[in-house]
Amino acid sequence: MWAMAMKELRQMRRDRRTLAMMILLPVLLLVVFGYAASFDVDRVRTVVVGPLAQEVAGGLPDRLQVVETRADLGREGAVEALRDGEAVVAVVTGANGDAAILVDGADLFSARSVVTELRGRPELPAPEILFNPGLDTSTIMVPGLMGVVLVFVGTIATALGVVRERQSGTLEQLAVMPFRPRDVLLGKLLPYLGVAAVDLVVIVAAGMLLFDVPFVGSPLVFALGAVAFLFVTVGAGVLISTVSETQGQAIQLAMMIMLPQILLSGLIFPLQAMAAGVRWIGYLLPLTYFVQVARGVMVKGTPIDALLLPLGMLAVLGLAVLGLSIARFRRDLAPAGRRHRHDEVATVGAGAR
């Protein structure tokens, strides 16, 4: 029995990926639950509009952090500001008493903390909750979960698909066949992209039918965000496959990438509630931006010009990850530069390389 235990211990010491998982994961969870897991939002971004904006701004509770005062805007402008994500609370001041406090119900936890706060301030108007009047959790969770599904299909399925080729030894066979590396890659990815698209449609439909999740905005913008996000996740999948020898390793790596995204992207715990030191990690994760796009379009009807930042980030990340993974993949598939059409090929050695 001891011989067995000794052997396992020695093997475990050498299995770096499993070790990383066993050590890094607890560290990650510690960080998350220590600094990131909080539903209490201390400071909520607020804009104040209307003729009395300047005066009112000073008298608001501390929790409402005034980022802008716009005397020139009225109620409509306030609603737009919320819709575009510029602020979570809009205080509308009116000369003739049509004052109002508008709250973005899509930013669920911020909204809840504002509502609670204002209950203790009866002199202020009762808050009106826009976009998600019932403060339903499912309404904002379902769009986020779509992102999780896309990460799953995009990253894990893609990684497995490519690693399977390497593991079974057929990658070498492919390298000899008259395929261009891009044929192989695109041909491999297309089915997964198709499945991801179908998954997305099914979840949106289920969300709308079963959970009353609204779809207020433009499907086109949503599709744009989804496509950009898929580029990133699929690119990550291919990248993982280029550094994994077996499917087991691929899954381990994919899990290590997926877990932080779920925990730190604002999907569950709001970004604003995280300590600043941890929040920046969230801003590096693609899921963060997709969640912004999905929630914005579905729940609030945010137009494309207000979503340029998240879409832009997804595009940049997508290009970077996909570019890197294609470069590495090509190296596996066509090292000798073989595209020729003549009958005879004479490859002259490149000397010391």
Query: Where does this chain bind other proteins (CB under 8 A)?
Result: 2-4, 6-7, 10-11, 14-15, 168-170, 172-173, 175-179, 335-353
In whole angstroms, the minimum distance from the beta carbon of 329 to other proteins comes to: 14
Nearer to other proteins, 54 or 246 (CB): 246
286-295 helix and 247-264 helix, angle to the nearest 10 degrees? 50
Nearer to other proteins, 120 or 337 (CB): 337
In whole angstroms, the minimum distance from the beta carbon of 3 to other proteins comes to: 2
In whole angstroms, the minimum distance from the beta carbon of 250 to other proteins comes to: 17
Tokens representing residue 230 in the block? 């898929």
Segment (H or E) for 284 = none
Please give the order of strands across the beta sheet that includes 127-130.
Answer: 64-70, 44-49, 89-92, 100-104, 127-130
In whole angstroms, the minimum distance from the beta carbon of 349 to other proteins comes to: 4
In whole angstroms, the minimum distance from the beta carbon of 176 to other proteins comes to: 4
Nearer to other proteins, 59 or 337 (CB): 337
Q: How remote is the C-alpha of 69 from its chain's centroid?
A: 31
Q: Distance between CA 242 and CA 233 in Å, rounded?
A: 14
Tokens representing residue 16 in the block? 């770096």
Q: How remote is the C-alpha of 201 from its chain's centroid?
A: 18
Nearer to other proteins, 58 or 351 (CB): 351
Nearer to other proteins, 212 or 245 (CB): 245
Nearer to other proteins, 7 or 121 (CB): 7
In whole angstroms, the minimum distance from the beta carbon of 249 to other proteins comes to: 13
Q: Distance between CA 37 and CA 26 in Å, rounded?
A: 15
Q: Distance between CA 98 and CA 79 in Å, rounded?
A: 15
Q: Distance between CA 76 and CA 12 in Å, rounded?
A: 62
Q: Distance between CA 98 and CA 78 in Å, rounded?
A: 13
